[in-house]
Amino acid sequence: MQREPSILIIGAGFAGLGMALELQRHGLTNFTILEKAADLGGVWRENTYPGAACDVPSPLYSWSFEPKSDWPRRFSQQRDIHEYMRAVADKHGLPQRIEFGTEVTDAEFDERAGVWRVRTTDGVTHIADILIPAVGQLSRPAMPNLPGIDSFTGAAFHSAEWDHSVELTGKRVACIGTGASAIQYIPRIQPKVAHLTLFQRSAAWVLPKWDTEYSALHHALFKHVPVTRLAERFAIWTYFEVMALALTDIPPIKVPVIALADRHRRTQVPDAELRAKLTPDYAAGCKRGLFSNEYFPALAQDNVHVETNAITEVTPHGIRTADGVEHAVDVIIYGTGFKGTEFLAPMHIYGQGGRKLADEWSAEGARAYLGMSVPGFPNLFMMYGPNTNVGAGSIIYMLESQARYIRQAAQYLGAHPGRFISARAEVEQSWDDWLQHRLKDTPWNFCSSWYRNASGRITNNWPGMTALFRWKTSTFKPSDYDEQQVAR
Ligand code: NAP
């Protein structure tokens, strides 16, 4: 390498930290992480709702190069995952490389100097050869656009901004949303509230969760006989890869999975009327499949009502539904998800010729070569960019693929100082054509979810096995990129 490139990473979640670790492991140390919050962790710092946990087992939902042999459970709680991230970051000296409390407002590529100028809320301009936004897809809570939402006089909060100062014991609580977040906190709060009304717009596909507490024997085996740990990781990975095939290439695999979900509902919800409400009316796999053994039993309790009439307004004292009924409640919890299709917002990113990234994406939605590079935006590589989310599998596996690829790009730029590169337009177009072709027949087309934007384009999901993405991103090919040399 002739000159080590300077690198700015935005975000200290799994993506940003993983990127930093990959660079460091390959001797690239000229990087800084800008993090808007006061702590690292991304979604695992933000989401502290009761029962917050990961529904991807930890042996796979962890960095391959930083295995942990003493996870308390197979499906870890938020606290344990956050602690793991902190421990790995500390071990590798990353906190010293993070500028906390530093939020990026905009970034502009300076063609004359071949560098990114990145402005932050403290008024500082950071300069770097390479910019790596690693801000996730699920970092900005989405509130529903309901009439009267501000008129409510009780406590109200979003699941990702859980207000722990609000005591739920003995209260009448409204829960809006039936996604992966809600399914985790509803069973935790149901026993303590006086009454819980679940406002369900769509019933969820729910599968049993094969959780287990790891014993001292597990921990000893995982530590001293690493092949046992690797075997479990491999088994979990294979299971999710088969699920990914069910969503894309081999739909018949879904048949036994649907049967399992149906049986789970039948055995856990004896009441036929309630079971009918909780039976999805859309294709399995369209929204994210959920895993829980506690969700249905919680909904079957006497202090719970599942309301399927649409919400028409929020009133000062509750929620009104389309049948005219006003449901009086003390607290409203919005489990209404995230602005997943608004990639990189609210940052303003300007590429060559002052082109604004949000404008490039305004017609159809976000798109990028390999989910990482956009023509005309040189030396910018996104982590967890467009079409890199998984319908089944571990996002950390996907992020590791991206980090390896971007590290190779950084090494290439280090070997060719003064050059800047962005995906060739025709390469990006044929990538997008291939993606759209593969996405065409996936179940994600048949309902609305955070995987699709308002125009109906699936901007978030990767259509295939994670192994396919790893293969596609295994080697950085300079020929896929337009190159320019900084004028001297
Ligand atoms: P989500 O999956 O987007 O679910 C949002 C829910 O809110 C949906 O049920 C949606 O209904 C409902 N909703 C939105 N607006 C509404 C309105 N106006 N009226 C009634 N209902 C409304 O959000 P999430 O549960 O926070 O999960 C988001 C993603 O975070 C997940 O897909 C997953 O990738 C990630 N996550 C992962 C884990 C994990 O264990 N790994 C845990 C939590 C979250 P519709 O379905 O009808 O739109």
Q: Atom 10, ligand 1: which residue's CA is nearest?
A: 177
**What's the pLDDT score for residue 111?**
95
pLDDT digits (tens, 9 = 90+) for 23-62: 999 999 999 999 999 999 999 999 999 999 999 999 999 9
**Does 133 lie in the same domain as 101?**
yes
Q: How far is the CA of 179 from the centre of ligand 1 (A)?
A: 4
Domain-embedded: residue 349: yes
**Does 349 lie in the same domain as 311?**
no
Asked which of 334, 366, 387 is the last residue of a domain, the reply is 334
**Does 287 lie in the same domain as 184?**
yes
Q: Are 85 and 41 in contact (CB under 8 A)?
A: yes
Predicted confidence band of residue 310 (pLDDT cuts 50, 70, 90): very high
CATH number of 187's domain: 3.50.50.60
**Does 329 lie in the same domain as 183?**
yes
pLDDT digits (tens, 9 = 90+) for 78-96: 999 999 999 999 999 999 9
Asked which of 277, 306, 334 is the last residue of a domain, the reply is 334
Q: Is the pLDDT of residue 186 over 80?
A: yes
Q: How far is the CA of 204 from the centre of ligand 1 (A)?
A: 10
Q: Is the pLDDT of residue 153 over 90?
A: yes
Asked if residue 8 has its Cβ within 6 Å of ligand 1, the reply is no
**Does 450 lie in the same domain as 376?**
yes
Asked if residue 392 has its Cβ within 6 Å of ligand 1, the reply is no
Predicted confidence band of residue 488 (pLDDT cuts 50, 70, 90): low
**What's the pLDDT score for residue 487?**
79
- The rounded radius of gyration (Å) of the Cα atoms in the chain is 23
**What's the pLDDT score for residue 213?**
96
Range of the domain at 178: 155-211+221-334
Task: Please give the average per-residue pLDDT across 422-427, as a whole number.
Answer: 98
pLDDT digits (tens, 9 = 90+) for 188-199: 999 999 999 999
Asked if residue 335 has its Cβ within 6 Å of ligand 1, the reply is yes
Q: How far is the CA of 477 from the centre of ligand 1 (A)?
A: 37
Give the nearest ligand 1 atom to 179 CA. 25
Asked which of 314, 334, 354 is the last residue of a domain, the reply is 334
Model-wide pTM > 0.85: yes
Q: Is the pLDDT of residue 286 over 90?
A: yes
Residue closest to 393 by CA, chosen among 462, 471, 444: 462
**What's the pLDDT score for residue 45?**
98
Asked if residue 288 has its Cβ within 6 Å of ligand 1, the reply is yes
**What's the pLDDT score for residue 64?**
98
**What's the pLDDT score for residue 2?**
80
**Does 126 lie in the same domain as 75?**
yes
Q: Which amino acid is at 474?
A: S
Residue the block writes with tokens 């125009």 = 455
Domain-embedded: residue 147: no
**Does 97 lie in the same domain as 18?**
yes
User: How distant, in Å, are the alpha carbons of 22, 25, 206, 278, 442 from that of 286?
Assistant: 33, 38, 13, 16, 8
pLDDT digits (tens, 9 = 90+) for 199-244: 999 999 999 999 999 999 999 999 999 999 999 999 999 999 999 9
Q: How far is the CA of 446 from the centre of ligand 1 (A)?
A: 16
Q: What is the mean pLDDT of the chain?
A: 97
pLDDT digits (tens, 9 = 90+) for 335-345: 999 999 999 99
